[in-house]
Amino acid sequence: AQSVAQPEDQVNVAEGNPLTVKCTYSVSGNPYLFWYVQYPNRGLQFLLKYITGDNLVKGSYGFEAEFNKSQTSFHLKKPSALVSDSALYFCAVRGPTDSWGKLQFGAGTQVVVTP
Amino acid sequence: DSGVTQTPKHLITATGQRVTLRCSPRSGDLSVYWYQQSLDQGLQFLIQYYNGEERAKGNILERFSAQQFPDLHSELNLSSLELGDSALYFCASSQRGTEGTEAFFGQGTRLTVV
């Protein structure tokens, strides 16, 4: 069975500092990995995905994520955080032959960026 | 704006009642998904439709049902409502629903059962 873990409930970072949100996964075969962000009272917004190819994936709003197969991780990063990046971040994973319905979301990580 | 429209945004109803949540997918998207988000359960997949047919089922209660109409909009019906059904219900859509396609989420319907 596939699973995804976001080990930190909350990440606190000062504006201008690098931001990292951690995600590890377990899936049979090569994974399809996604990051979504949820602002208060809003739906989830797609940030980026890894399907195949380059391990470093660039996404929206200056975010990027690094796929590490040996460590089964897909950490989200931003070189310089903004106060407006404060939100709830979700990592999600599924297997290559699974339909979207098998997508497993992590519990989410609350990011707080202080001025 | 994701292009996925959900109505209503808020719904307050009493236990035992039935409600219908509506979703209009992005133009051109054939797949629609329903999710439930609650504090204790997190984000739970309920059901997926593709071009009018049920494609995948998740943790959907028997009291809940959904359908996708020929114009591709979808409705989620929740009946015999209980206090524990209070949650944020999201609809999402994607072009297909397999492989690496990402889904785009609506803003959700917040259901409060009193």
Per-residue pLDDT of chain A (115 residues; tens, 9 = 90+): 778 999 999 999 999 999 999 999 998 888 899 999 999 878 899 999 998 889 999 999 999 999 999 999 999 999 999 999 999 999 998 877 776 666 789 999 999 999 9
B43 to A108: CB separation less than 8 angstroms, yes or no: yes
pLDDT 10s digits, A24-39: 999 888 889 999 999 9
End-to-end C-alpha distance for chain B, whole angstroms: 31
Contact B93, B29 (CB under 8 A): yes
- Contact (CB<8Å) A99/B107: no
A4 close to A12: Cβ distance less than 8 angstroms: no
A32 touches chain B (CB under 8 A): yes
Mutate to test the interface with A, among B43, B48, B60, B94 (most CBs of A within 10 A): B43
Express each pLDDT in A96-109 by its tens digit: 777 666 678 999 99
The reply to whether residue B90 touches residue A102, judged by beta carbons under 8 angstroms, is: no
Name residues whose C-beta falls within 8 Å of residue B7's C-beta, 6 or more positions apart in sequence: B21, B22, B109
Residue count of chain A: 115
